[in-house]
C-alpha cells in the first residue's frame, strides 16, 4: 500500500510504477511524505524512468520562424 497526500499524486504514481500491484491510498494532510507498506507477497522494485517534462513542448520561437497555413 502507498499512502500519499493528494497534492503529491505524481510522486505516488511514480512509486506505484516501481511497485507493481501496489494500492494507492490518498491521505489528506500527509504532506510530501509517501509511505510504503510492503506485504508478505512483496517481490522486488521495478526500475522506472522519469518522463521528460519538455517532451512535446515547442519552445520559444520568433515571429519570422512561424509559418501559418491558409
- Supply 41's cell numbers: 507477497
Model-level pTM? 0.63
Determine the pLDDT at residue 57: 63
User: Per-residue pLDDT for 68 more than 90?
Assistant: no
Domain boundaries, the chain: 1-39
Q: Which helix (H) or strand (E) holds 4?
A: strand 2-4
Beta strands 2-4; 24-26: pairing state: parallel
Determine the pLDDT at residue 31: 93
Determine the pLDDT at residue 42: 82
**pLDDT per residue over 48-65, tens digit each?**
776 666 555 666 667 777
Q: Which helix (H) or strand (E) holds 9?
A: helix 9-18
Strand, helix or coil at 8?
Answer: helix
CB half-sphere exposure, 58, CA atoms < 13 A: 5
- Supply 20's cell numbers: 507493481
Amino acid at each position: 500500500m502507498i499512502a500519499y497526500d493528494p497534492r503529491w499524486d505524481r510522486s505516488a504514481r511514480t512509486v506505484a510504477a516501481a511497485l507493481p500491484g501496489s494500492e494507492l491510498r490518498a491521505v489528506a494532510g500527509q504532506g510530501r511524505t509517501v509511505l510504503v507498506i510492503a506485504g508478505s507477497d512483496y517481490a522486488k522494485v521495478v526500475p522506472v524512468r522519469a518522463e521528460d517534462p519538455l517532451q512535446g513542448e515547442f519552445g520559444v520561437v520568433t515571429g519570422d520562424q512561424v509559418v501559418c497555413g491558409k
